[in-house]
Structure 1
């Protein structure tokens, strides 16, 4: 291999590894949305990990790209329709419930202490 093709190969493999990592994390978080109880989640997460580990020794770049595309399509097909959102995160029920005070308003935290001058 020449230097250019080696660099291109390494860059493509790095991009594939990143896509697989992102796909695994998204699938794992979505598995938590589908699991009603934690003990069910642990079994589903173990099964998901086995699916990823079964193909970790594949070396052909085109096969890896095809498998990633199939995995992303499967994940998009089976995503939870109403995923759990942390309440204070964007999209959560408490997001911006208590907005920051406008500029010019000073909050004093003296909690009843008085100045005895």
Structure 2
């Protein structure tokens, strides 16, 4: 019973690592592909690489393959990834910070008092 629980826990951890690796690699593929039609082909190739090893059952082999995949991902990760401008690290992040407490902004939009 304990061996089965250990096996299932290890398989669940491996599935999670593969899922995380696939998502990270897929998102990083967007950084390398300039146009969507290029991304779709690269994403399809990436999926084929993951699906090619779907049948492997040996736990040690799977761990080794995951480690190789993570090392390959770290080697080929984009050096300057795209960051959404308004997200943390983006070019517009906190460009217009909220005013300090005690300052009131009145939006008159051309209805100022000109007397």
The alignment partner of 2:56 has SS state of coil
Shift of 1:116: 20
TM-score, scaled relative to structure 2 = 0.85
Structure 1 unmatched runs, 5+: none
Shift of 1:6: 1.3
Once residues 35 and 70 of structure 1 are traced to their aligned partners in structure 2, the CA distance between those partners, rounded to angstroms, is 23
List, as ranges, runs of 4+ consecutive aligned residues in structure 1 with deviation greater than 3 Å. Answer: 103-117
Residue-by-residue CA offset, 1:13-34 (whole Å, 9 max, x unaligned): 1111111011001111111111
Shift of 1:11: 1.1
The CA RMSD measured in Å over matched residues stands at 3.0
Residue-by-residue CA offset, 1:16-72 (whole Å, 9 max, x unaligned): 111101100111111111111110110000000000001111111100000000000
The alignment partner of 2:84 has SS state of coil
Shift of 1:96: 1.2
TM-score, scaled relative to structure 1 = 0.84
Once residues 71 and 113 of structure 2 are traced to their aligned partners in structure 1, the CA distance between those partners, rounded to angstroms, is 66
Question: Measured at CA, do residues 47 and 114 of structure 1 come closer, stay the same or move farther in structure 2, by a change above 3 Å?
Answer: same
Question: Measured at CA, do residues 49 and 116 of structure 1 come closer, stay the same or move farther in structure 2, by a change above 3 Å?
Answer: same
Residue-by-residue CA offset, 1:56-91 (whole Å, 9 max, x unaligned): 111111000000000000000001111100111111
Specify which of 62, 65, 75 is matched with residue 63 of structure 2: 65
Shift of 1:102: 2.7
Aligned positions, number = 114
Once residues 101 and 78 of structure 1 are traced to their aligned partners in structure 2, the CA distance between those partners, rounded to angstroms, is 42
